[in-house]
Amino acid sequence: MEQVLAAISDPVLAGFLAASVRLSVPILLVALGGMFSEKSGVLNIGLEGMMLIGCFVGFIVAYATGNLWLGVASAMIVGALAGLGLAWYAVTVGANQVVVGIAFNLLMLGVSAFFFRLAFGSGTAPPRITPFQPIDFGALGQVPIIGPLLFEHDPLTYLTVGLVVVAWLVMHRSTLGLSIKAVGEHPVAAETLGLNVIGIRYGAVMVSGALAGLGGAFLSTSATGLFLDNMTAGRGYIALAILILGRRHPFGIVAAALLFGAAEALQLRAQLLPIGVPLQFLIMLPYVLTIVVLAGFAQRSGAPAALGVPFRRHGE
């Protein structure tokens, strides 16, 4: 019994679990956004770019105004506008959605790096802001395991929990969710029933961009308090793998995001241990997991029937 109590109260275990939750939040937000887009039939490969521009804008606005919430709101707005731009190519123009998404990611990588250097110059120490701080729940935060796991996080983490519930209600308990899924499965039949296929897809991609921007803002305004070139480091692509593993369901996405968060937390802690494994191999762990997920689950992902297929009205 004493050994069990010692294991439960082990600060290393508690820290690992708390870090797993914290590291899963940004990719969870981006994956939630990707769910709305893909359920409507638009393959949003541009999540990485939307996340990166949200990370940049959130930091810049928070740094300039001293208001973290204003930075977060700005990141969501610019993410939604980025989604609008991508939707124009994917929905209106009918361009190849994979090509458009990759080009968009490369564009946002260059734009964020250019304007960051334009604002702060190069060769200097990166500017910093004071990030969101954990909410003080008093004695609840001192409970072994449960305290660090549930009651030692910042406001954006709890906002993310609320957004997961909202996403589930929208997609599985509302007429809007049924409309989004109908557009993604059979857009021609959906239009016959009076649904605005193009409008719904535009809205879904903009919501996708807003949530990806929020995920990026989490990195700069909550996790670190700074911005660096290519700060997202492929998390947008990991979010695509999380979508597949979670079968595009909000709660499935949560479980998959926690798995990836645990993998990242494990590699960060393993770097401090004298285990003799090269650092590069430890850093690879989350990305190797992404490849395994894509290889093992891509064929059983249950993707919408019209995912990635441009919609054209009858006679166009």
pLDDT tens figures, 59-116: 999 999 999 999 999 999 999 999 999 999 999 999 999 999 999 999 999 999 999 9
As a whole number, mean pLDDT of residues 37-49 equals 95
Q: Which CATH architecture has domain 23-121+152-300?
A: Orthogonal Bundle (1.10)
CB 133 within 8 A of CB 154: yes
Q: How far apart are CA 297 and CA 94, in angstroms?
A: 28
Contact 160, 24 (CB under 8 A): no
Are 65 and 129 within 8 A, CB to CB?
Answer: no
Query: What are the tens digits of pLDDT across the range 260-293?
Result: 888 888 887 776 666 666 766 767 777 787 777 7
pLDDT confidence band for 148 (50 / 70 / 90): confident
* Buried-state track 236-262, b at ≥16 Cβ within 10 A, e below 16: bbbbbbbbbbbbbbbebbbebbbbbbb
Contact between 242 and 256 (Cβ < 8 Å): yes
| Cβ atoms of residues 34 and 194 within 8 Å | no
Q: Return the SS3 of 2.
A: helix
Structure tokens, 34: 């990707």
Going by C-beta distance under 8 Å and a sequence separation of 6 or more, which residues neighbour residue 100? 45, 46, 86, 89, 90
pLDDT for res 7? 43
**What does pTM read for this prediction?**
0.91
Please give the Cα distance from 316 to 314 (Å, whole number): 6
Mean pLDDT of 188-217: 95
Rg value, the chain, Cα: 20
- How far is residue 16's CA from residue 3's CA, in Å, rounded to a whole number? 19
Beta bridge partners of 124: none
pLDDT at 4: 39
Residues in the chain: 316
Predicted confidence at residue 2, as pLDDT, reads 42
Confidence class for position 181, pLDDT limits 50, 70, 90: very high
User: What are the CB-based long-range contacts (under 8 Å, 24+) for 257-260?
Assistant: 257/24, 257/25, 257/27, 257/28, 257/31, 258/20, 258/21, 258/24, 259/289, 260/23, 260/24, 260/27, 260/286, 260/289, 260/290
